[in-house]
């Protein structure tokens, strides 16, 4: 969960897996912590029959589960459902819970577009790039997008570019960074476009393309220094050594050993991801 949580209640060996994020929850304290720290990205859909059943069966909080189930049947509002769960443990004080419920009121008064943007950003910060990209798409094609200022629209495109970069690669992000800059006029968006352009087109392609823009010599030199530094660091990286060996195997036509080495590398990445 990212924080040491003292659990006074039961800790189950059968976690509840949150549908959207895949987060595993093992105790009522962890559930309260998740809600409190992700209030901008959750909504009524968190409260499902399976969650109610898990609270009653796995955590042994039968009366709390019954109260939550009754609240759902009676069509209780979002704040009531939150309060039922948060009051299931002593992890947060009464004042902290009241403060969170006041935050919910603030969220509800926000424009829909801003709420969706915050939710998408929360996915991006947690490196849930597919979910983030879906939320940005939802916002960009919505009627509410017409109410966004050029800067706000550009900021969404910028973050969408980051999400797509991690899902599909550099080329998907290239034009989006440029479109973002054309709207928000943020130097950060333009820099990310230039960095991505260098990586996609190479140095020669980069310098040919940027001749179309009025870029200060200072910025150009800064980009060159940064990319050359990263290139040197990449060559010294142990993973790059593995990639060079794979390239040599491919060129030599040794397909059996190439496949074996690729599988070792992929399973290594999978193992690291599972640990995270």
What angle (nearest 5°) sits at the alpha carbon of residue 164, between those of residues 212 and 107?
Answer: 110
- Among the listed residues 107, 99, 61, the one whose alpha carbon sits nearest the alpha carbon of residue 83: 99
How is residue 144 written in tokens? 């509410």
Q: What is the DSSP letter of 142?
A: S
* Model pTM score: 0.69
Q: How many of the other CB atoms lie within 10 Å of CB of 63? A: 9
CATH fold group of domain 112-215: 1.25.40
Q: What percent of the residues of the chain are helix, what percent strand, and what percent coil, each to the nearest 5?
A: 75, 0, 25
CA-to-CA dists, residue 64 to 38, 74, 205, angstroms: 22, 15, 63
User: Whose structure tokens read 């200060």?
Assistant: 216
Structural tokens at position 51: 């969650």
Comparing CA positions, the residue from 50, 39, 44 lying closest to residue 15 is: 50
Nearest to 116 by CA among 35, 43, 177, 184: 43
Tens-binned pLDDT, residue by residue, of the chain (276 aa): 444 444 455 788 899 998 877 889 999 999 999 999 888 888 888 999 999 999 999 999 999 999 999 999 999 999 999 999 999 988 999 999 999 999 999 988 888 888 889 989 988 988 889 989 999 999 999 998 988 999 999 999 999 999 999 999 999 999 999 999 999 999 999 999 999 999 998 888 888 888 778 788 888 889 889 888 887 776 666 666 677 777 787 888 878 888 887 788 777 766 665 544
DSSP 18: P
Taking residue 105's Cβ as centre, other Cβ atoms within 10 Å add up to 9
């Amino acid at each position: 969960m990212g924080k040491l949580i003292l659990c006074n209640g039961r800790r189950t060996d059968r976690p509840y897996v949150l549908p959207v994020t895949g987060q595993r929850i093992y105790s009522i304290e962890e559930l309260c912590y998740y809600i409190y720290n992700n209030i901008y990205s959750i909504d009524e859909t968190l409260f499902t029959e399976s969650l109610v059943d898990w609270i009653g069966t796995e955590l042994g909080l039968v009366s709390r589960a019954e109260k939550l189930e009754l609240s759902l049947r009676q069509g209780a509002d979002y704040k009531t459902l939150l309060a039922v769960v948060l009051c299931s443990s002593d992890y947060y004080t009464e004042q902290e819970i009241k403060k969170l419920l006041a935050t919910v009121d603030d969220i509800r008064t926000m424009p829909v577009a801003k709420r969706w943007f915050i939710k998408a950003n929360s996915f991006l910060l947690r490196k849930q790039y597919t979910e983030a990209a879906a939320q940005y798409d939802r916002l960009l094609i919505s009627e509410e997008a017409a109410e966004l200022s050029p800067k706000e629209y550009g900021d969404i495109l910028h973050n969408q570019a980051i999400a797509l970069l991690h899902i599909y690669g550099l080329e998907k992000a290239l034009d989006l960074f440029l479109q973002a800059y054309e709207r928000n006029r943020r130097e950060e968006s333009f820099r990310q476009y230039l960095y991505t352009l260098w990586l996609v087109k190479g140095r020669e392609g980069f310098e040919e393309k940027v001749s179309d823009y009025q870029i200060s010599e200072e910025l150009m030199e800064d980009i060159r220094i940064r990319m050359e530094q990263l290139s040197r660091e990449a060559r010294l990286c142990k993973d790059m050594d593995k990639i060079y060996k794979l390239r040599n195997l491919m060129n030599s036509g040794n397909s059996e050993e190439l496949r074996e080495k690729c599988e070792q590398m992929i399973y290594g990445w999978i193992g690291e991801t599972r640990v995270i």
